[in-house]
Structures are given as C-alpha cells and as structure tokens.
Structure 1
Amino acid sequence: MNSMHDKGYTARIDFDERDDCFVGRLLGLRDRVSFHAASVADLRAAFEEAVEDYLETCASIGKTPEKPASGRLMLRVPPEVHSAALIAAQAAGQSLNQWATQVLRVAAARTDGPPQP
C-alpha cells in the first residue's frame, strides 16, 4: 500500500487509470475524507489541505476530530487463538500485551503503515 502521513493521519494512495490521477483517502476514520491530484507534489499538497479542511470543519461544527487510534485495542478471538498467543508470549518471556504489540508492529510494517515513534 502506498501511503502518506500528516499530523497523525494516514492516507492510502492509489492511481486511477481511468481518470489518470492519484486518489487518496484518510484511513481509520468513520468520516470519509478523500482527495486527488495529477502529480505527486500536488497530491502531497491536496493531502495536507484535506487534513486541514477536516480539522477546520470539525472545529466549525463543534465536533471533536477523530484520531485514527487511541492506543487501546480490544480483540475478541477464539479461545484457542488466545491460548496459543499467551503460550507464545510466555515462551518469548513477554506479557501478552508486549508480544501482541510486537506482532502487530511487524504485521503493520509489511503494509507500509505509519512511521514508528
């Protein structure tokens, strides 16, 4: 996946052959925020403008802007997956939270996720 990052927001970038332009969409939000441009430089500017417009629109209507993630994640998995993950974490000498964070970080890096802090 091609992506861009600005102010904590991530956008997925695709190329639309039919319209011969790049299109982007902010990820991790219930609100739909998209943008497009014909060149990479214009796409960067359109992305930054889309983020600013989103933040300004939220402010003007009195809505708290969504952030893509809070850092808290609750998963519901089958008991056998939970057990296997717990065993893997213990075998690695980690808590389940530490182990899951590491596994998710590696998996997210494979999809060109946001930069790591």
Structure 2
Amino acid sequence: MKNTMEYKGYVGSVEFSEEDGIFFGKVMGIRSLISYEGTDARSLVEDFHGAVDDYLQLCEGQGKAPEKAYKGSFNIRIAPETHKQLVIHATACQMSLNEYVRETLEKAVM
C-alpha cells in the first residue's frame, strides 16, 4: 500500500484519522499549505485533485508562479569525516561527489 498520490507533478500524503473517520493529507515538498480530505479513497483523490487545481488557479489569478516540489536540489548536513569519506569514495570511482551521491541515492530507492 502506498501512502502518497501524485497529480500534475505534486505529491500528496495519505493519512487516516480513526477518531474522525476520514482520510486526509497535504501536498508535500512546498511551503504553501494545500490540504484535502475525504470519507473514502475516491473522495480523497477527488479533493486532492481539486485542491491542486485550486492552487494553480489561485497562482495564475495572482500572476505568480506556483511552487514546484522536488526541484532536484537539496542540502544535507553530515559530519566532516563522512564528507571526507564520500569524497574519497567518489574520487576512487572517478566521479564527482554530486554524481556519486546521486547514484548512491538512486540505488537506495530503486
């Protein structure tokens, strides 16, 4: 079972509140709060799609570009020794640090 869904390039979470008896979620990876809910899977998906469409229409009406999630760039904080070891491994593989980390991360999630 997947706990996310995707629409127009936006990824939304899927959660369930036993107390309220509803499914709910929010669009992940952007600063704007876009939330949605439904009493069943179909209504959750419909509300997610509607919330994304509303957000895109609002941005267009305000003349601003909508935020894009997961632009392919992120910063991480690691220990200096870990950084050093990554550079050593990347160099040994004749790769840049960026290439080495990208390839390693891709292998981890595939």
Kindly provide the amino acid, as one letter, of the partner of residue 45 in structure 1. E
Could you say what secondary structure the match of 1:104 adopts? helix
- Partner residue, 1:10: 11
Q: Give me the whole-angstrom Cα distance separating, in 2, the residues matched to 1:6 and 1:106.
A: 25
Measured at CA, do residues 21 and 106 of structure 1 come closer, stay the same or move farther in structure 2, by a change above 3 Å?
farther
- Partner residue, 1:46: 47
The within-5 A match list for 1:68-79 is 68-79=69-80
Tell me the number of residue pairs that the alignment of Structure 1 and Structure 2 aligns: 109
Could you say what secondary structure the match of 1:18 adopts? coil
Using the TM superposition, name which of 5-14 and 88-97 deviates more: 88-97
- Partner residue, 1:65: 66
Q: Give me the whole-angstrom Cα distance separating, in 2, the residues matched to 1:17 and 1:67.
A: 32
- Partner residue, 1:55: 56
| Higher CA-based Rg | 2
Shift of 1:93: 4.2
**Which of structure 1's runs of 4+ aligned residues deviate more than 4 A?**
none
Q: Give me the whole-angstrom Cα distance separating, in 1, the residues matched to 2:104 and 2:49.
A: 31
Q: Give me the whole-angstrom Cα distance separating, in 2, the residues matched to 1:25 and 1:73.
A: 21
- Partner residue, 1:84: 85
Q: Give me the whole-angstrom Cα distance separating, in 2, the residues matched to 1:3 and 1:76.
A: 26
Measured at CA, do residues 40 and 63 of structure 1 come closer, stay the same or move farther in structure 2, by a change above 3 Å?
same
Identity of aligned residues (%): 36
- Which runs of 5 or more residues in structure 2 are unaligned? none
